[in-house]
Amino acid sequence: MRLRAAVVLVLAALVTGCGFEVEEPDLFVVTRTGAHGQRLSLLVNDGGTIRCDGSKPKNLPDPLLLQARDLATKLNTDVSSKLRFGTSARSVYSYTVKVQNGTMSFPDTAALSHKELSDLELFVVQAATNPCGLSS
């Protein structure tokens, strides 16, 4: 009887991941490209980390993590809806974001009509500054 109870406890620990490194999923990857070839790439993980231009993971402050989770949900909906945006001569930056449901590209001027895109642009600027330590 004790052996059975011990086996059940070990199996429960294995199922819950207790004591093991459990990797969280990525929320999204966003790449921003500027008019002069300036490029910034951010990989945001649900575990609270961010990779800036391929660097080692850095801790993402809680407010930015919450914002990233909300963005991922909204962007997944946009990608599923197959939103498309044309280019604009007034654009300074272009963005490509990859989420669970696919990939979407848009010019910075698209943020004028879609709040989640302006929220993503703000997130990129905030994350590039801190925690990435890059000029936005």
Mean pLDDT of 10-39: 74
**Distance (Å, rounded) from C-alpha 80 to C-alpha 117?**
15
- Residue appearing with tokens 């993590």: 65
Orientation of helix 115-129 relative to helix 62-80, angle to 10°: 140
Domain range annotation of the chain: 24-129
Contacts for 32-37: CB closer than 8 Å, 24+ residues apart:
32/93, 32/94, 32/95, 32/124, 33/93, 33/94, 33/95, 33/96, 34/92, 34/93, 35/91, 35/92, 35/93
13 pLDDT band, cuts 50/70/90, is: low
Render pLDDT for 48-91 as a digit per residue (tens, 0 to 9).
999 999 999 999 999 999 999 999 999 999 999 888 888 878 89
